[in-house]
Amino acid sequence: MKITCSMYKYKLSKSVLILNFSICLLYLFSCSKGSDTGPALSIQDVSIIRNTSESTMRFHIILNKPSTNAISVDYTLTDGTAVSPGDFVSASGTVSIPGGQTDATINVLIKGDPLSVRKPNLQFTVNLNNPKFCTIATGTATGTIVTEDGTSLSTDNTGYSTPLTYPGYSLVWSDEFNGNSLDLSIWNQEIGNGSGGWGNNELESYTGSLKNTFVSNGNLVIEARKETIGTFNYTSGRMTTQDKKFFKFGRIDIRAKLPVGKGIWPALWMLGKNISSAGWPGCGEIDIMELIGTNPSTVYGTLHWSNAGGSHASKGANYPLLAGDYSKEFHVFSIIWALNNISWYVDDQKYLDISISDLSGANYPFNSDQFFIFNVAIGGNWPGSPDYTTEFPQRMFVDYIRVFQ
């Protein structure tokens, strides 16, 4: 009997254990199904270009699936580089999504800027909290007010200046850049990257966009940006007076403030009017000013030509500042160009003189017409590539160009 009872008790206990285990599985399964808390909502980032007048930025809240319940969530706005009330109108509240629907919007009033000032883009944050009948998958979104394309940009005008008259000279042409746009009857905007980056393995793509070249507050601005066009990761501006304005001899003054940084290569220069027939360097190149961004306190003046054997030849010199660098204030870069001779100046200080005798019997192409080129190159054989230390955007400001003869 004892053995029989024990066996019965054992069998009974085993059955209870199996039953309890089955109940646990059913419970876990039901809990698992019960853990479905309903739809999840997300909010998406938004960008809007700042207008001269007020506009509305719309943030979209999206449910991953509809619900039979009316869903709600609270929101608040938080200042960032965009600050209320100057840049946007701060607000808070509750957003509701009726049953069966999957989206809603939060509208934020963005303040206009009548001056269209160019500055780094501005940002603020939308925060979601306290969801009802849903969960929050993405609870924050960034609102970006795009101001980097504004058409108004000012800069400190301090620095060296030169006069409008010189004894023995007359002003025959100038561009003071006092208007609201580039004078396309004078200037061409070159577009593209050329073969291998305009022949120097440069890294930028030149555009005709106002993002890269514009006139504002009495200055021409050429702006280099870190942005991609095709296989090129930078954009910039390059402008010429080819076929529109060309000169031979005289004094040329260009007042400019320069960009600096590794891989940055601003230049104010000239090429022979006959480049299409003579080619480079046979047409002759006059570099009034070049700067390599890793040496921000030094500019270079150079001549390029074809030697007697038809190969490239050059001669030049540099002018270092005693203090500061060329990005801190305006300087005037000049040449005095006469028959068989050219002299280079920074702020009326002569630092280079090249004459026909320096070409050692090679053809001297610098007694013929030349046109102007202004550009800001990125990378290339001479300056090398930008690195993590290089800040963008980089800008060259040109206050004026004047030709006296």
Catalytic residue set: 285, 290
3-state DSSP assignment of residue 18: helix
- Name residues whose C-beta falls within 8 Å of residue 340's C-beta, 6 or more positions apart in sequence: 355, 356, 364, 367
CA dihedral 131, 135, 137, 138 (to 10 degrees): 0
In DSSP notation, 63-111 reads ESS--SS-EEEEEEEE-SSS-TTTTB---EEEEEE-TT--EEEEEEEEP
- Name residues whose C-beta falls within 8 Å of residue 347's C-beta, 6 or more positions apart in sequence: 160, 331, 332
- Name residues whose C-beta falls within 8 Å of residue 335's C-beta, 6 or more positions apart in sequence: 251, 252, 286, 288, 301, 342, 343, 344, 345
**Inter-CA distances, 273 with 197, 245, 284, 369, Å:** 22, 10, 9, 6
| CA neighbours closer than 13 Å in the CB half-sphere of residue 310 | 2
Which residue's structure tokens are 């058409």?
151
Phi, psi (degrees; rounded to nearest 5) at 399: -80, -45
Q: How many helices (H) and strands (E) does the chain have?
A: 2, 27
Instruction: Look at residues 115, 228, 232 and name the one whose alpha carbon lies nearest to residue 180.
Output: 115
User: What ranges make up the beta strands (E) of 211-297?
Assistant: 213-216, 219-224, 234-236, 238-240, 246-247, 250-257, 264-272, 285-291
Strands 122-132, 171-175: pairing kind:
unpaired
What is the C-alpha separation between 207 and 221, in angstroms, rounded?
A: 13
Q: 374 has which bridge partners?
A: 239, 268
What is the C-alpha separation between 353 and 112, in angstroms, rounded?
A: 53
What is the C-alpha separation between 277 and 247, in angstroms, rounded?
A: 18
